[in-house]
Every structure is written in structure tokens, then in C-alpha cells.
């Protein structure tokens, strides 16, 4: 009974946390931008409609699902985030399936699950109405499909992998990178095991998916490329890796100023140990799973490097890099599966689990997320500016540009009795307004125009017009 109980508890606890945070975290800038521009947009025209791709905030599948859940349950944050909540549960289930199937020792099984799942930064995206959670879900299921495929080379598992990677791509186009990496890894694998006939027999599935993706995505990718959307990123793979570790550590530098470099090196050392363990292991089945994951890491590096050199695009950074989590930590999990089922392994598994859980608890904030931390303060803001029984459109307020989309969302969806909201990157001061909610860079000029600081809310300032 114990062999699955710990995993079930892990799935239940993390799923409950994801759902609660989807309810508790205030709606964020990018979510609100998607809602404002695409909540009632005909998403089926996006294969040829340039208006769809005015910015990168239209994550195709997320927008489609957001429209459905918004129609069914209303325009509240939890309803709009439900698709990603379910994607989070599916991610956890897939991680549990991988660990239950391939890791024998119960404590190591839990440790492997924690290694893949126990990251606040990753779980953030399952509590937000963005495409990154959908992408991460599709990628881990794509990996699981390939792990099952190499057991007996059954085409159904290859189709599962390709299908779920297609799902990931529609969630966010960044998933084209893991799709290409897994495809390249598959080709290298069947050649390495001398199954040359499968290059044609099973390769046709990859070819068909490539053709479909070409016709489906060539227009939006061309439009986004002309707008410079692929220029944002890291300079190289090392920066991608250290940036990802910095986010997973929530910016905490346990080992000094170079902490993220050291931690990324540590991850690479664990992966190297997995490779050495696989090379020395006698069990061919366990060995080949580790080698497949290492092959995927190699092909990911090749694909990202090739994309950068051929297209000039930057390497993934911040939220775009979360698809690497199941690759990096999946390889470590498969390395743990090589260990013998004994007391020493159990002790190591317990230590690993406690370390991940401890860091998770230390960095967890139930009502904010790392990428859009500045959107955490709207409940406090509204309690300050909106008196009880306020009439419709009774409070005038504007803000720094980063707060504007979420304020517009709350104004229209709740609705809130506020007006005067104007989106501008350089703050334009209107002396007829009652309030300004601004970041530090936008405080200049407010005092000279009759405003004074009323409250400090989080890291930001609420200015009130002296005439009110």
C-alpha cells in the first residue's frame, strides 16, 4: 500500500495548492492582457489573422480554453485559470506514473517525484491563465510516451508522445524546441539500436506532425518574428541554465553571489553521475531509460544552439525555460532509479525529499507568484480606494503601465466602481484624478502636480490628489 500512497499524497497536496493559489493570486498583467484582447476574439481565425499576433500574450490553446471556462463559469480568476489547474494535475499524475513505474525503492520514488515536481516556480504557472503550464504538461507527457515507446517500440506510445507535444506547442510556441529535440532523440535512438526500418515506418508520424505544424504555425511565427518577440531571451545555454536555477531557488543565494552557477553545476554533476551509473549498471532496461533522458538533454542543447545560430533568436529564459525542468530533473530521477532497493537508498531518498520540501515551504507564497510579483497588491489597493457602498464609477485612478491591464480586468469583470485608467509606458499626469498607483520610477512629478503619498502598498506607492 505504501508504494503508491506517498505519490498519491504528493499529487493531492500539490493539486490542492495549485487550485488554491489559482483562486488566491490576484490576476496578473499578462493574464489580463490576454483577457482584454482575446476573451471574445474569434480564435479560429488566428492561423491567418495578424490581429491575433499583435503581441505574444495570445497563447493559442490557453486562449481557446480560457474562452470556454470563462463562458461556462464566468470571468473570475479561478475560472479563467482552470485549464492550467487541470494541466498541473495532469503533470503531477504523469510524474507519479514515471516514478511508480521506474523507481523501485519507496523513499527514492518519493524523492524522484519531488525532484520533478517540488518547485514553486514551476507550480506558479499551473495557477495562472498562461500557456506555460499547458506547455510543461505536454512536454512531460511527451517524455513519458517516449519512455514507454522504447520498452517495446509500440507506435501507440510514439503517437501519444507526438500528440502531447503538439498540445504543448499550442500551449506555447516555445515547445517547438522540445518537440524537435525529442524528434531528433527518437531518430538517434532507433539508429543506435539498429532499427533502421522504423526510420520510415514510425518516422512518418514525425513527418506528418512537422507538415501540420508548418502549415498551422508559419503565419503566426512569421508575424511574431517581425515584431521582435523572439529577441527576448538569454545569450547562451549556460545563462539559460543558471537563470532557470535562479528562478527555482526563488532568487535565494544559498552559496553566495555565484550560487546559481554552483547549483547549475551541481545539477549537471548529478546528471553526469546518472550517466556513469547507467554505464556501469547491469540492468539493460534501467540503463536505456537513463541513456534516453541524457540523449534528450543533448538534443535539447543541439536544437537550442542551432536555433540561435540559424535564426538569431535568443535562448530560452525565465518562464520560457520551464519546459527544461522535466528533462533536467527527469534525468536525475532516472538516475535515482538505478540505485539498489536497500536502507541506504531509503535514507538518501528521505534526505532528498526533505531538502526539496524544506526549500519549497521556505519560498512558497500563497498569494503571489515570482514572475508577476508586482500584481500581488490589488486586494489591499481596492480596500484603500473604494469606500463601502461606492457608487458606479465613483473613484478615479490611473497607474504605472504594468498595473493597468489587471486594473482594467477588475474594473470590467467584477465590476469595480473605478474610472480614469489609461495605458501608457510613460506616465501622463491628469490632475483631475483622485489616485495614482505607481512604481518608484513614476513618482517623479506627482507631488508637483498636487498629489501626495497616501499609502505604501508592498513595493509601490498610492498617491492621492490633495484636492480630495
Q: Model confidence over 74-111: pLDDT tens digits?
A: 999 999 999 999 999 999 999 999 999 999 999 999 99
Please check the confidence at residue 226 and state whether its pLDDT lies above 90.
no
- How far from 83 is each of 8, 140, 228, CA to CA, in Å? 21, 17, 28
Q: How high is the pLDDT of residue 468?
A: 85
Q: Name 147's Cβ contacts closer than 8 Å, sequence gap at least 6.
A: 98, 102, 289, 292
**How is residue 248 written as a grid cell?**
527555482
Mean pLDDT of 176-191: 97
Please check the confidence at residue 288 and state whether its pLDDT lies above 50.
yes
Domain boundaries, the chain: 2-363, 377-465
Please check the confidence at residue 189 and state whether its pLDDT lies above 60.
yes
Angle, vertex CA 441, rays to CA 455 and CA 454, nearest 5: 15
Please check the confidence at residue 219 and state whether its pLDDT lies above 80.
yes
Mean pLDDT of 203-212: 97
Please check the confidence at residue 390 and state whether its pLDDT lies above 70.
no
With bands split at pLDDT 50, 70 and 90, how would you rate the model's confidence at 152? very high
Mean pLDDT of 139-145: 98
Mean pLDDT of 450-467: 95
Name the more confident of 184 and 5.
184
CA dihedral sign, ordered 81, 86, 87, 92 = positive
Give the single-character DSSP code of 392.
T
Q: Is 49 exposed, middle or buried (0-12, 13-18, 19+ CB in 10 A)?
A: middle
Q: Torsion-angle region of residue 251: left (phi > 0), alpha (psi -120 to 50) or beta?
A: left
What is the distance between the alpha carbons of residues 300 and 321, in angstroms, rounded to a whole number? 11
Q: How high is the pLDDT of residue 149?
A: 97
Residue 280: CB atoms within 10 A of its CB come to: 9
Q: How high is the pLDDT of residue 229?
A: 77
With bands split at pLDDT 50, 70 and 90, how would you rate the model's confidence at 2? low
Q: How high is the pLDDT of residue 392?
A: 64
Please check the confidence at residue 250 and state whether its pLDDT lies above 80.
yes
% the chain with pLDDT above 70: 98
Mean pLDDT of 146-166: 97
With bands split at pLDDT 50, 70 and 90, how would you rate the model's confidence at 300? very high
462 DSSP β-pair partners: 437, 455
Q: How high is the pLDDT of residue 1?
A: 47
Q: Does the pTM of the predicted model rise above 0.85?
A: yes
With bands split at pLDDT 50, 70 and 90, how would you rate the model's confidence at 389? low
464 DSSP β-pair partners: 435, 452
Query: Average pLDDT, whole number, for the chain?
Result: 94
Q: Which helix (H) or strand (E) holds 395?
A: strand 395-399
Mean pLDDT of 309-333: 94
HSE, side-chain direction, 13 A CA sphere, residue 24: 12
Name the more confident of 420 and 322.
322
What is the distance between the alpha carbons of residues 185 and 168, in angstroms, rounded to a whole number? 18
Please check the confidence at residue 228 and state whether its pLDDT lies above 90.
no
Please check the confidence at residue 116 and state whether its pLDDT lies above 80.
yes
The CA R_g of the chain, rounded to the nearest whole Å, is 24
Alpha carbon of residue 175 to chain centroid: 11
Please check the confidence at residue 60 and state whether its pLDDT lies above 90.
yes
With bands split at pLDDT 50, 70 and 90, how would you rate the model's confidence at 29? very high
% the chain with pLDDT above 90: 83
Going across the sheet that includes 435-438, the strands are: 418-419, 395-399, 435-438, 460-465, 451-457
Q: Which long-range contacts (CB under 8 A, 24 or more apart) does 428-435 make?
A: 430/398, 431/465, 432/396, 433/396, 433/397, 433/398, 433/465, 434/385, 434/395, 434/396, 434/397, 434/464, 434/465, 434/468, 435/385, 435/395, 435/396, 435/397, 435/398, 435/462, 435/463, 435/464, 435/465
Q: Is 23 exposed, middle or buried (0-12, 13-18, 19+ CB in 10 A)?
A: middle
**How is residue 335 written as a grid cell?**
538516475
Name the more confident of 152 and 57.
152
Amino acid at each position: 500500500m505504501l508504494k503508491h500512497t506517498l505519490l498519491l499524497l504528493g499529487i493531492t497536496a500539490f493539486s490542492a495548492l495549485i487550485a488554491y493559489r489559482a483562486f488566491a493570486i490576484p490576476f496578473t498583467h499578462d493574464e489580463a492582457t490576454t483577457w482584454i484582447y482575446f476573451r471574445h476574439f474569434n480564435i479560429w481565425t488566428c492561423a491567418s489573422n495578424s490581429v491575433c499576433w499583435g503581441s505574444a500574450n495570445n497563447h493559442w490553446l490557453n486562449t481557446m480554453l480560457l474562452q470556454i471556462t470563462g463562458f461556462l463559469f464566468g470571468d473570475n480568476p479561478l475560472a479563467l485559470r482552470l485549464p492550467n489547474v487541470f494541466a498541473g494535475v495532469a503533470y503531477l499524475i504523469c510524474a507519479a506514473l514515471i516514478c511508480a513505474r521506474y523507481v523501485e525503492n519507496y523513499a527514492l520514488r518519493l524523492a524522484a517525484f519531488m525532484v520533478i515536481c517540488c518547485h514553486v516556480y514551476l507550480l506558479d504557472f499551473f495557477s495562472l491563465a498562461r500557456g506555460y503550464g499547458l506547455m510543461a504538461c505536454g512536454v512531460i507527457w511527451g517524455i513519458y510516451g517516449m519512455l514507454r515507446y522504447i520498452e517495446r517500440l509500440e507506435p501507440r506510445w510514439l503517437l501519444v508522445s507526438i500528440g502531447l507535444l503538439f498540445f504543448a506547442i499550442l500551449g506555447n510556441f516555445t515547445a517547438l524546441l522540445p518537440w524537435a529535440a525529442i524528434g531528433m532523440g527518437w531518430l538517434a535512438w532507433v539508429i543506435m539500436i539498429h532499427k533502421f526500418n522504423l526510420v520510415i515506418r514510425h518516422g512518418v508520424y514525425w513527418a506528418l506532425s512537422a507538415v501540420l505544424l508548418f502549415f498551422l504555425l508559419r503565419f503566426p511565427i512569421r508575424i511574431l518574428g517581425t515584431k521582435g518577440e523572439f529577441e527576448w531571451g538569454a545569450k547562451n545555454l549556460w545563462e539559460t541554465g543558471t537563470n532557470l536555477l535562479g528562478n527555482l531557488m526563488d532568487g535565494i543565494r544559498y552559496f553566495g553571489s555565484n550560487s546559481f552557477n554552483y547549483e547549475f553545476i551541481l545539477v549537471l554533476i548529478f546528471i553526469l553521475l546518472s550517466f556513469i551509473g547507467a554505464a556501469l549498471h547491469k540492468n539493460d532496461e534501467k540503463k536505456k531509460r537513463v541513456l534516453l533522458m541524457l540523449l534528450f538533454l543533448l538534443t535539447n542543447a543541439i536544437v537550442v544552439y542551432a536555433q540561435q545560430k540559424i535564426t538569431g533568436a535568443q535562448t530560452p529564459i525565465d518562464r520560457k525555460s520551464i519546459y527544461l525542468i522535466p528533462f533536467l530533473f527527469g534525468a536525475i530521477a532516472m538516475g535515482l532509479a538505478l540505485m539498489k532497493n536497500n536502507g541506504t537508498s531509503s535514507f538518501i531518498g528521505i534526505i532528498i525529499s526533505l531538502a526539496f520540501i524544506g526549500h519549497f515551504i521556505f519560498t512558497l507564497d500563497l498569494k503571489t507568484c515570482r514572475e508577476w510579483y508586482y500584481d500581488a497588491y490589488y486586494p489591499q489597493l481596492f480596500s484603500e480606494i473604494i469606500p463601502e457602498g461606492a457608487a458606479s464609477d465613483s473613484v478615479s485612478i490611473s497607474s504605472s503601465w504594468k498595473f493597468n491591464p489587471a486594473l482594467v480586468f477588475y474594473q470590467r469583470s467584477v465590476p469595480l466602481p473605478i474610472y480614469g485608467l489609461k495605458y501608457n509606458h510613460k506616465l501622463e499626469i491628469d490632475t483631475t484624478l483622485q489616485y495614482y498607483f505607481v512604481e518608484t520610477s513614476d513618482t517623479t512629478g506627482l507631488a508637483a502636480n498636487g498629489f501626495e503619498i497616501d499609502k505604501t502598498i508592498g513595493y509601490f506607492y498610492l498617491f492621492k490628489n490633495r484636492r480630495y
